[in-house]
């Protein structure tokens, strides 16, 4: 085998791995599709993140598996830490990118771009932080369909 074929096989393997990372059953699938963390079928949010009147509003239960999305009052206060981490990641990514690719951009423009991006992305980051927080505590269960409809849905949150 030549080095090129080995390299190609590694690339194909990595592509399949990357596809699996976003496939059903992975946390990334639930996060980016904004689906129930347990069954990956029911919608997590009532509406899209940019529908500002209902931004971040969750369904009470999953329409597919019946999982109660909020185990206790204030469960999603912890999502603030996730939101903070996302904001820092956005800031660092933008700042490093601008300094790598646009070396002659002024500090004022850099701050303006970062602030504008933060404002525009706030509804999406808010939604992301909530579903990431939920995914930290709720595991995927491929047999979850209908589970919560027959059992008490409050028993179903695995912490």
Contact between 65 and Zn ion by CB under 5 A: the answer reads: yes
Q: Is 36 in the site for Zn ion (CB under 5 A)?
A: yes
79 binds Zn ion (CB under 5 A): no
One-character DSSP codes across 60-93 = SB-TTT--BS-SSTTGGGGHHHHHHHHHHHHHHH
Tell me the C-alpha to C-alpha distance, in Å, between residue 113 and each of 96, 108, 123, 131.
13, 9, 17, 26
Tokens standing for 120? Answer: 């525009």
Q: How far is CA 150 from the centre of its chain?
A: 28
Among 67, 30, 61, 45, CA closest to 127: 45
Contact range with Zn ion by CB under 5 A, out of 39-47, 82-90, 100-108, 127-135: 39-47
Interacting stretch for Zn ion, rule CB under 5 A, among 4-12, 67-75, 79-87, 101-109? 67-75
**Which of 61, 64, 135, 156 lies at the binding interface for Zn ion (CB under 5 A)?**
64
Q: How many residues bind Zn ion (CB under 5 A)?
A: 8
62 sits near Zn ion (criterion: CB under 5 A): yes
Helix and strand numbers (H, E) in the chain are 5, 0
- 157, 68 contact by CB (below 8 A): yes
Q: Decide: is 134 part of the binding site for Zn ion (CB under 5 A).
A: no
Q: Which stretch binds Zn ion (CB under 5 A): 22-30, 65-73, 106-114, 117-125?
A: 65-73
Taking CB under 5 A as the criterion, the residue among 42, 130, 133, 135 binding Zn ion is 42
Residues forming contacts to Zn ion in the complex (CB under 5 A) are 36, 38-39, 42, 62, 64-65, 67
């Amino acid at each position: 085998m030549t080095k090129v074929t080995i390299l190609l096989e590694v690339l194909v393997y990595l592509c399949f791995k990357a596809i699996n990372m976003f496939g059903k059953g992975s946390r990334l699938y639930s996060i980016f599709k904004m689906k129930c963390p347990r069954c990956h079928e029911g919608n997590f949010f009532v509406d899209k993140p940019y529908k500002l009147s209902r931004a971040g509003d969750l369904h009470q239960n999953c329409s597919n598996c019946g999982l109660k999305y909020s185990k206790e009052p204030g469960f999603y206060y912890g999502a603030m830490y996730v939101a903070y981490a996302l904001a820092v990641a956005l800031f660092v990514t933008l700042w490093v990118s601008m300094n790598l690719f646009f070396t002659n951009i002024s500090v004022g423009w850099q701050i303006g771009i970062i602030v504008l991006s933060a404002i525009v992305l706030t509804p999406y980051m808010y939604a992301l932080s909530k579903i990431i927080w939920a995914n930290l505590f709720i595991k995927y269960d491929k047999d979850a369909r209908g589970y919560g409809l027959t059992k008490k849905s409050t028993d179903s949150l695995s912490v």
